[in-house]
Protein backbone atom coordinates (compact mmCIF):
# COMPACT_ATOMS: atom_id res chain seq x y z
CA UNK A 1 0.00 0.00 0.00
CA UNK A 2 1.45 3.36 -1.01
CA UNK A 3 1.37 6.50 1.10
CA UNK A 4 -1.25 7.89 -1.29
CA UNK A 5 -3.55 4.90 -0.77
CA UNK A 6 -3.00 4.99 2.99
CA UNK A 7 -3.93 8.68 3.17
CA UNK A 8 -7.07 8.20 1.08
CA UNK A 9 -8.09 5.25 3.26
CA UNK A 10 -7.69 7.38 6.38
CA UNK A 11 -9.67 10.24 4.83
CA UNK A 12 -12.44 7.84 3.82
CA UNK A 13 -12.93 7.13 7.53
CA UNK A 14 -13.16 10.84 8.36
CA UNK A 15 -16.65 12.16 9.18
CA UNK A 16 -15.52 15.71 8.28
CA UNK A 17 -17.58 17.78 5.87
CA UNK A 18 -17.26 21.24 4.36
CA UNK A 19 -14.35 23.32 5.63
CA UNK A 20 -13.25 20.55 7.98
CA UNK A 21 -13.05 18.11 5.08
CA UNK A 22 -10.95 20.59 3.11
CA UNK A 23 -8.64 21.11 6.10
CA UNK A 24 -8.22 17.34 6.48
CA UNK A 25 -7.54 17.05 2.74
CA UNK A 26 -4.87 19.74 2.89
CA UNK A 27 -3.21 18.02 5.82
CA UNK A 28 -3.32 14.75 3.90
CA UNK A 29 -1.81 16.46 0.87
CA UNK A 30 1.04 17.88 2.94
CA UNK A 31 1.61 14.46 4.49
CA UNK A 32 1.78 12.95 1.00
CA UNK A 33 4.20 15.64 -0.22
CA UNK A 34 6.56 15.17 2.71
CA UNK A 35 6.35 11.36 2.60
CA UNK A 36 7.36 11.30 -1.06
CA UNK A 37 11.11 10.79 -1.49
CA UNK A 38 12.64 13.58 -3.52
CA UNK A 39 10.71 16.33 -5.26
CA UNK A 40 7.06 15.78 -6.06
CA UNK A 41 6.37 16.45 -9.72
CA UNK A 42 3.17 17.19 -11.60
CA UNK A 43 3.66 13.85 -13.37
CA UNK A 44 3.70 12.01 -10.03
CA UNK A 45 0.46 13.74 -9.07
CA UNK A 46 -1.17 12.73 -12.36
CA UNK A 47 0.03 9.14 -11.86
CA UNK A 48 -1.51 9.11 -8.38
CA UNK A 49 -4.82 10.27 -9.86
CA UNK A 50 -4.80 7.24 -12.16
CA UNK A 51 -4.99 4.86 -9.19
CA UNK A 52 -8.13 3.01 -8.21
CA UNK A 53 -8.08 4.67 -4.78
CA UNK A 54 -8.32 8.13 -6.36
CA UNK A 55 -11.13 7.07 -8.69
CA UNK A 56 -13.09 5.46 -5.85
CA UNK A 57 -12.87 8.38 -3.37
CA UNK A 58 -16.26 8.74 -1.67
CA UNK A 59 -16.04 10.82 1.51
CA UNK A 60 -15.91 14.63 1.26
CA UNK A 61 -12.40 14.65 2.77
CA UNK A 62 -11.10 12.01 0.33
CA UNK A 63 -12.67 13.81 -2.64
CA UNK A 64 -11.14 17.11 -1.50
CA UNK A 65 -7.74 15.39 -1.20
CA UNK A 66 -8.07 14.11 -4.76
CA UNK A 67 -8.93 17.68 -5.79
CA UNK A 68 -5.75 18.97 -4.13
CA UNK A 69 -3.70 16.35 -5.97
CA UNK A 70 -5.49 17.25 -9.23
CA UNK A 71 -4.47 20.89 -8.76
CA UNK A 72 -0.88 19.81 -8.12
CA UNK A 73 -0.92 17.81 -11.35
CA UNK A 74 -2.08 20.74 -13.44
CA UNK A 75 0.81 22.62 -15.02
CA UNK A 76 0.95 26.32 -14.23
CA UNK A 77 -0.20 28.50 -17.08
CA UNK A 78 2.19 31.02 -18.48
CA UNK A 79 0.91 34.56 -18.12
CA UNK A 80 2.99 36.23 -20.79
CA UNK A 81 -0.04 37.86 -22.38
CA UNK A 82 -0.94 39.57 -19.11
CA UNK A 83 2.59 40.82 -18.65
CA UNK A 84 2.72 42.04 -22.24
CA UNK A 85 -0.53 43.98 -21.79
CA UNK A 86 0.69 45.50 -18.52
CA UNK A 87 3.95 46.54 -20.17
CA UNK A 88 2.08 48.17 -23.07
CA UNK A 89 -0.23 50.01 -20.67
CA UNK A 90 2.75 51.24 -18.66
CA UNK A 91 4.49 52.38 -21.86
CA UNK A 92 1.41 54.38 -22.91
CA UNK A 93 1.23 55.97 -19.47
CA UNK A 94 4.90 56.94 -19.51
CA UNK A 95 4.73 58.47 -22.99
**Model confidence at 95: pLDDT above 60:** no
Report the alpha-carbon distance of residue 45 to residue 71 in Å, rounded.
9
| Mean pLDDT of the region 68-90 | 74
Q: CA-to-CA distance for 49 and 55, rounded, in angstroms?
A: 7
Q: Which domain, by its residues, includes 13?
A: 3-94
Q: Are 69 and 49 in contact (CB under 8 A)?
A: yes
pLDDT digit string (tens) for 2-23? Answer: 899 999 999 999 999 999 999 9
Tally of domains within the chain: 1
Amino acid sequence: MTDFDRIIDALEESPAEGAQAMAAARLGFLEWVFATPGPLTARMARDALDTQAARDAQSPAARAFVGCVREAGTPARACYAGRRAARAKRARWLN
